[in-house]
Amino acid sequence: MTKYYDSLETQDPAEREQSLLQRLPEALKHAKENAPAIADQLKDIDVSQINTREALAQIPVMRKSDLLSIQLAHHTDRDSTNGSERLRAFGGFSTIGWGSALRVFASPGPIYEPESARPDYWGFARALYAAGFRQGELIHNCFSYHFTPAGSMMETAGHAIGCTVFPGGVGQTEQQVMTMLDLAPSCYTGTPSFLRIIVEKAQELGESIPVTKALFSGEAFPPSLQKWFQDRGITGYQAYGSADLGMVAYETEAREGLVLNENILLEIVRPGTNEPLPDGEVGEVVVTTFNPDYPLVRFGTGDLSAIMPGTSPCGRTNSRIKGWMGRADQTTKVRGMFVHPGQVAQIIKRHPEIKGARLEINGSMGNDSMTLKAYVQDRSDSLLSKIADTVREITKLRATIEPVGSEDLPNDGKVIDDLRSYE
């Protein structure tokens, strides 16, 4: 049984870089010819000359907020004939439409993403393999199977390495425990906070779940939480990706940063600009993919990270990033769901009684909590309950509503304040 998923993980770094850059002009040509939104992004670019990092930096960064606004502009077009769903649904970023896309997902925004029949479409198989998952094992997959692609990301990755997958999804904690006891999966995929809930529910029932290996994503996985699982016989690793890009980087047994996926070009740029930063400096993660079905070019994730020096002690030779280090904007992730400043604005708009608000995110060891500090004159239980319902409707998350005075909301421009510790 080999230590690595494939030989790409240990190839010479210079050869990897040369191979990716040699493939780049043809990949950009395909994207420009088949994805109208990418064609607009590349309209003044001779893609045949984009074969170096310096040349790639000539292309303007397409940020997630840009992708969202472009898609939203097309969602009102109801004509779905002649393949125009590639525009109406995907805003011109996808090269495939209905039929070629096996599934279509909706992430918060909404942003719509296609999934084709390409094996391991989202690229998470090597992350599973690095976490110790092997052919013939059963994975209990507790990522959501509706709307967002996380469930499918792990299921298709599990199938690529020859695993059987139980679609556990989210919720129904006691049923999750009983199913694990019946089927005895050795592997878990999902958020760390949900597995912790499952473990604690099993303990309440006087049971111990059989899971010994886990791949987590969607939330921070600090050393304290790693130890919590290790003390209970579960070795967990983390992977970093997005619904737009698929898997970007993954943790290995070295536990020194996250190793980049093999089929991407990653840059760290100065937030709000197109300018690449030197290795080691913290900036926005920008990724160019080689996915011919959804070919994002210099896609700005809004996440902050930095390139680490050298190669991983695990023997994998690709570059590493330090992991998630915050957001270039105020968008944050709570229990696997993005929460945007625009959503806070929607809450305020629904309730004219709110004269100002700030959403605070607290918690540790995966126990995230949200508190909406709302400047309101009316502090009745009725109004606070209505505001709480609105928060849940818009963000899909629960929050405590705390009425405050104007002096309790600092004049610093923040509408989301992430107070969590990741130590």
Query: Containing H/E element for 334?
Result: strand 332-334
- Residue 370: domain span: 334-418
Cα distance between residue 238 and residue 216, in whole Å: 5
Predicted TM-score (pTM) of this structure: 0.80
Instruction: Count other C-beta atoms under 10 Å from residue 281's C-beta.
Output: 12
Question: Cα–Cα distance between 109 and 409 in angstroms, integer?
Answer: 26
Q: Residue 231 has what pLDDT?
A: 97
Grouped pLDDT means (10 residues each) for the chain, 423 residues? 91 97 98 97 96 97 93 76 78 96 93 96 98 98 96 98 97 96 98 96 97 95 94 97 96 97 96 89 94 97 93 97 83 84 88 93 80 95 96 94 91 79 61
Contact 99, 293 (CB under 8 A): no
Phi, psi of 392 (to 5 degrees): -65, -40
400: in domain: yes
Question: Could you tell me which of 1, 3, 2, 11 has the C-alpha nearest to residue 262?
Answer: 11
For the CA atoms of 191, 194, 199, 201, what is the dihedral angle to 10 degrees? -170
**Residue 198 located in a structural domain:** no
Asked, for residue 361, whether it belongs to a domain, the answer is yes
Q: Which stretches does DSSP call E strand in 217-306?
A: 235-242, 246-250, 258-260, 264-269, 283-289, 299-305
Answer whether residue 44 is part of any domain: no
In a domain, 148, yes or no: no
Residue with tokens 């996915």: 291
Q: CB burial class (10 A; 0-12, 13-18, 19+) of residue 278? A: exposed
What pLDDT score was predicted for residue 415? 82
CA-CA distance, 411 to 361, in Å (whole number)? 18
Question: What's the pLDDT at 412?
Answer: 65
Among 213, 219, 256, 252, CA closest to 236: 213
Please give the tally of structural domains in the chain: 1
- Which element (helix H / strand E) includes 168? none
**What separation, in Å, do the N-terminal and C-terminal C-alpha atoms of the chain show?**
35
What is the predicted pLDDT for the residue at 1? 60
With respect to residue 250, please indicate whether it lies within any of the assigned structural domains: no
pLDDT of residue 410: 83
* 369 lies in some domain: yes
The answer as to whether 353 is a domain residue is yes
Q: Do residues 321 and 264 lie in contact, with contact meaning Cβ atoms separated by under 8 Å?
A: no
Phi, psi (deg, nearest 5) at residue 419:
-105, 10
Q: Per the structure block, which two tokens stand in for 33?
A: 């010819």
Report residue 186 as tokens.
Answer: 């050795």
- What amino acid occupies position 59? I
Query: Which stretches within 2-148 are classed as H helix?
Result: 13-34, 36-41, 53-56, 64-74, 85-88, 125-130
The CATH number of the domain holding residue 362 is 3.30.300.30
User: And the tokens for 203?
Assistant: 């303990």
Radius of gyration in angstroms for the set of CA atoms belonging to the chain, rounded to a whole number:
22
Judge contact between 149 and 107, C-beta under 8 A: yes
